[in-house]
Homo-oligomer: A and B are copies of this chain.
Amino acid sequence: MKAGKFLFFILCLHVSLAVIAASLQTCPADIGKGCGDDWEGEFFPGIPKIKYEGPSSKSPLAFKWYNGEEEILGKKMKDWMRFSVAFWHTFRGTGGDPFGAPTKMWPWEDGTNSVAMAKRRMRANFEFIDKLGVELWCFHDRDIAPDGATLEESNANLDEVVALAKELQGKKIHPLWGTSQLFMHPRYMHGGATSSELGVYAYAAAQVKKAMEVTHYLGGENYVFWGGREGYQTLLNTDMERELNHMARFLEAAVAYKKKIGFNGTLLIEPKPQEPTKHQYDWDAATAANFLRKYGLIGEFKLNIECNHATLSGHSCHHELETARINGLLGNIDANTGDPQIGWDTDQFLTDIGEATMVMLSVVRNGGLAPGGFNFDAKLRRESTDVEDLFIAHISGMDTLARGLRNVAKLIEDGSLAELVRKRYQSFDTELGALIEAGKADFEQLEKKAMEWGEPKVPSAKQELAEMIFQSAL
């Protein structure tokens, strides 16, 4: 494709969204210089800085449970949570779905995908972050800056936008993580690192190289690999073993490059079982761990667990977090949720108190997530089209997790759930138990004991009591 054509493509794809948007929502020209490239006003004029007002507040634009500076379990809430805004969902989410055109028509969008527009959008991002009162953000390379006609041009676009982001970040704000988006463009239709085409593998490597550089430049604390299309649609046309070998080589190269540029952030893999492919190679935490161990990469990566991905893989979110944790791999959480009856990724903001409490149980057991945190990989419903909905959704998600943390504190203070678990295993807190756990009890010894003891007594598991205690803390 020639550069001219490509730019026209890029232009049009985004113009369409903006134009349709403009038909439904008027540009708030009165509050800034206008809706053109020269927008200089406030992006969220009616929205105050979000404050903690406590559980009795009726305001949708206030925190009822999240109070960043409040100390819980020996740490400030904000340090337990480390909330981050996801640039792509919040600023590039269009509301499109497989059966529907975009519905979001934010007033600051001018219908172009120009660098100028990208920069204006970045300003909106930092106003949003500021008003929400968080200090971290996450980004995909191609979502913050437009694709160019060539890789060089794409990189130049990225540099220009990133320079502005650096400036806008100031001293307080930096990326929780960055990543490269290797799934939207048709070139990636067979995957990036696992594409059947060598040229695509090379292109993906170049894109990741650049994204790692800018993440490092912006002070990012982690770098994520979401295997967007690393997977297969059918085994009939796929050499799975060869593709997995390629993926391992790719990640090895990423590790080497990280070290070369002095980037000390954690590398994260984000498991997902399906969608867009029938089978994504990073299916779940255990699958990703097996991959890392098989290829000797286990010390170089941690996992970014997403709750919606967890449930799509047949596990509870809590299970995936615990699996990551006990494999020493819990690095970050994509804070969202799915619908228990839906078989695809809905990326909803988490509002279930029980689930939030279990998520926070894992986080507390892990001693927190730093240098990872909670990224809101969650999007407004397609039908939620008011600017304020962006704030309501984030506040609701933050409050839910904050409530989860408060519940964990109650559970820990109460102590009876931990005691129930401790008692269940107390027969191993014995001499023979210690031998077994040290790998020093062989089958002959154990058989002798079994014969000596006769039929073992097996007490109740007290599941209903555990559920009652848990529910009482909510």
Contacts and interface: CB of A to CB of B under 8 A. Distances in A.
Contacts of A238: 421
Contacts of A400: 471
A340 B384 CA distance: 26
B472 A252 contact: no
Given A20-B186, A99-B184, A342 B235 contact: no
A16 interface: yes
A198 B461 contact: no
Interface in A278-301: 278-279, 283-284, 286-287, 289-291, 293-294
A36 interface: no
A117 to B, nearest CB: 15
Contacts of A1: 19-20, 22-24, 455
A256 B60 CA distance: 46
Interface residues of A, number: 174
Given A189-B103, A463-B384, A446 B201 contact: yes
A66 to B, nearest CB: 13
Interface in A410-450: 414, 416-417, 420-421, 424-425, 427-428, 430, 432-433, 436-437, 439, 441-444, 446-447, 449-450
What is the copy number of this chain in the assembly? 4
B198 A432 contact: yes
Given A1-B19, A453-B199, A458-B186, A425 B239 contact: yes
Contact of A186 (B24, B202, B205, B437): B24
A390 to B, nearest CB: 9
Interface string A380-395: 1111111001001101
Contact of A460 (B8, B201, B384, B470): B384
Interface stretch (A40-48, A119-127, A318-326): A318-326
B199 A457 contact: yes
Interface stretch (A162-170, A345-353, A367-375): A345-353
Contact of A450 (B199, B245, B432, B470): B199
Nearest to A209: B443
A46 to B, nearest CB: 14
A102 B290 CA distance: 34
Say whether chain A's binding surface is mostly helix, strand, loop, or mixed: helix
A273 interface: yes
A180 to B, nearest CB: 12
Interface stretch (A74-82, A214-222, A226-234): A226-234
Given A283-B286, A389-B462, A314 B311 contact: no
Given A151-B451, A197-B458, A326-B240, A444 B246 contact: no
Contact of A341 (B228, B245, B311): B311
A353 B474 contact: yes
A5 interface: yes
A12 interface: yes
Contacts of A354: 352-354
B202 A450 contact: yes
Contacts of A246: 428, 436-437
A385 B273 CA distance: 25
A34 interface: no
Contact of A464 (B245, B290, B396): B396
A185 interface: yes
Contact of A443 (B8, B206, B229, B340): B206
A67 interface: no
Contacts of A5: 19, 22-23
**Chain B CB within 10 Å, residue with most, of A9, A97, A432, A458:** A458
B276 A98 contact: yes
A279 to B, nearest CB: 6
A241 interface: yes
A196 B100 contact: no
Given A287-B287, A466-B237, A184 B19 contact: no
Instruction: Enumerate the 6 nearest inter-chain pairs by beta-carbon distance, A residue then B residue, closest first.
Output: A343-B343, A1-B23, A199-B456, A12-B12, A383-B461, A205-B446
30 contacts: A10-B16, A23-B455, A98-B276, A98-B345, A100-B183, A100-B184, A100-B186, A100-B276, A103-B189, A151-B451, A187-B456, A189-B383, A189-B461, A190-B383, A196-B427, A199-B450, A199-B457, A202-B450, A205-B450, A209-B447, A234-B463, A235-B316, A236-B417, A237-B466, A240-B326, A246-B428, A351-B468, A353-B354, A383-B463, A386-B459
